[in-house]
Amino acid sequence: MVALIEQGVARGLDLVDSFLAATGKGPRASSKALALEHRKAVAANRREVKRHRTRVSALKSEVTGGAVVAGVGGAIGLIDAATGPPSSLLIWFGAAGIGLLVSIRARIRLRSVGPAPRELTLIGPPPAIPRGSVGCVEISRFTSVRVQVMNLTPALDRLYPGSGEELRAADNEAAGPLTALAERLVVLDQLQRELPGTSAAASAAKSAELVRGRLADGCATYDELLAAAARLLAAPDMTRSTQEILAPAIDAMLAYAHGLQRAADL
């Protein structure tokens, strides 16, 4: 009877969470916000990649076209000078000179374009877990801090070009192992709900507490990264590079994420 009551209460809480998510409130709203920020970042990245490709293609066309005009114009000018009175010699050599200048200028600009932007492959939001379950607070916190990191990225990139991409890359690398922890919490919660009062449920509860602690530690490293990025925005220090300011927080977060990944592989 107690198990049936607990299951009924859990279903009721799930309905409440679904309503709060639909109205833009509650823990699942953070997942929607993170998914929205991801779509914005991917769309902006695709526009940047497209602009770069268009720019490179246009410059390559100028290099080739200018070289062709220079070669054809010079050849016709030489033929005109050798076969008869140079009636249009200046026109052909002038066209050849202009074509050569266009080709050289485009080649110089092409060298200064820089490498193509990397296409983003972002890690999605962690799975939802019923309210009141072990790890619910940590998953919500993990999602919220990732939303804040994504929100800070554009402003940070405008102030320190390239730092936003570095921040996104760190988030993307660390989010994988931490999202895997969130997925394990969901599985363990389902096991406890489906087999209440059994030894399997008791073992799942102990494992969930352990996983919850690991996820909480991961959220703390995210907080340090977020605090470092916020300090850059609040009080920019132009005498120091973003590498000097963000590197300790990024290294700590990635080290913890790699440790989780290594532990999962053992």
Mean pLDDT of 94-115: 85
pLDDT, tens only, 205-251: 999 999 999 999 888 888 888 887 777 777 655 555 556 666 776 77
Spell 222-255 as b/e; 16+ CB within 10 A means b: beebbebbeebeeeeeeeeebeebbeebbebbbe
Number of H helices, E strands in the chain: 7, 0
pLDDT, tens only, 132-142: 889 999 998 99
Distance CA 64, CA 211 (A): 59
How high is the pLDDT of residue 29?
Answer: 65
pLDDT, tens only, 6-24: 454 445 444 434 434 444 4
How high is the pLDDT of residue 22?
Answer: 44
Q: pTM surpassing 0.85? A: no
pLDDT, tens only, 22-63: 444 455 566 777 777 777 777 877 888 888 888 888 888 888
Residue 4 has pLDDT above 50, yes or no: no
| Residue listed under structure tokens 């266009």 | 102
Mean pLDDT of 104-118: 83
